[in-house]
A and B are shown apart, each in its own frame.
Chain A
Amino acid sequence: MLPGSASLDKKPTMKGSIMWVLLVLALVVQDRLAGGLEHKSYDYTKYHTMDEISAWMNQIERENPDVVSSMIYGQTYENRNISLLKIGLNSTTTKKAVWMDCGIHAREWIAPAFCQYFVKEILGSYEKDSKVNALLKNLDFYITPVLNMDGYIYSWIDDTTRLWRKSRSPGTGNCTCFGTDLNRNFYANWGMVGISRDCCSEIYNGPSPLSESEAKAVTDFLGMHQNQLLCYLTIHSYGQLILVPYGHPNISAPNYDELMEVGLAAAKAIKSVHGKSYKVGSSPDVLYANSGSSRDFARLIGIPYSFTFELRDEGQHGFLLPEDQIQPTCEEAYQGAMSIINYVHDKNFKSAAITVTATLWTTLTALWISSTNVI
Chain B
Amino acid sequence: MKTFCSVWLLLSLVELSPAPPVSQEPPLACTGAPGHAPQSETAEDMASTGDLEPTHYPARRAATVALHYLNTHHGSPFRVFGLQQVHKASAEDVAAGGRKYKLDFSVTDWASGSEGPALRCSADVLFPQTERHSGPEVQLRCEALQQINRTAQEEHAFYQRYISPDSAVSARDIPDSYGNVSEEMQPFWRLARVAASFIMLRESSERTEFNMAQVASVAQQGSSEEQLMLEFVVLLHDFPSQEIIQWKLLASWSPDRGVRVLQTEWQPRCPHATKPPN
Contact = CB atoms under 8 A, between A and B. Distances in A.
Interface of A: 47, 154, 156-165, 168, 171, 173-179, 181, 191-203, 239, 249, 277, 279-281, 284-289, 314-323, 325
A179 B273 CA distance: 10
B185 interface: no
A342 to B, nearest CB: 25
Contacts of A322: 175, 178-181
B271 to A, nearest CB: 6
Contact of B23 (A163, A197, A279): A197
Contacts of A202: 31, 241-244
6 contacts: A47-B177, A168-B276, A177-B29, A201-B38, A203-B40, A289-B43
B83 A160 contact: no
| 3 pairs of A and B residues whose beta carbons are closest in the complex | A322-B179, A315-B211, A202-B242
Contact of A200 (B29, B172, B180, B239): B29
B32 interface: yes
Given A198-B32, A200-B29, A281-B56, A47 B178 contact: yes
A314 B28 CA distance: 31
Given A154-B276, A177-B273, A178-B276, A289 B239 contact: no
Most buried by A among B24, B176, B213, B271: B213
A58 B16 CA distance: 62
B39 A249 contact: no
A179 B56 contact: no
A203 B27 contact: no
B276 A196 contact: no
Given A181-B242, A197-B23, A200-B272, A320 B175 contact: yes
Contacts of A164: 271
Interface in B22-50: 23-32, 38-43, 46
B236 to A, nearest CB: 10
B268 to A, nearest CB: 10
B273 A174 contact: no
Interface of B: 23-32, 38-43, 46, 53, 55-57, 82-83, 85, 110, 172-173, 175-181, 211-214, 216, 235, 237, 239-244, 271-273, 276-277
A325 B175 CA distance: 14
A34 to B, nearest CB: 34
B178 A198 contact: no
A317 B178 contact: no
A275 to B, nearest CB: 8
A199 B24 CA distance: 11
Nearest to B193: A316
Contacts of B43: 193, 249, 289
B177 A159 contact: yes
A178 B40 CA distance: 18
A285 B53 contact: yes
B60 to A, nearest CB: 8
Given A197-B25, A325-B179, A316 B39 contact: no
A285 B57 contact: yes
Contacts of A174: 26-27
Contact of A163 (B24, B38, B46, B235): B235
Contacts of A287: 57, 239
A322 B82 CA distance: 17
B277 A163 contact: no
Most buried by A among B175, B176, B181: B175
Contacts of A157: 276-277
A196 B172 contact: no
A201 B241 contact: yes
Nearest to A183: B242
Contact of A177 (B27, B39, B176, B243): B27
B272 A314 contact: no
A163 B244 contact: yes
B107 to A, nearest CB: 12
Contacts of B240: 194, 288
Contacts of B30: 200
B82 A194 contact: no
B56 A285 contact: yes
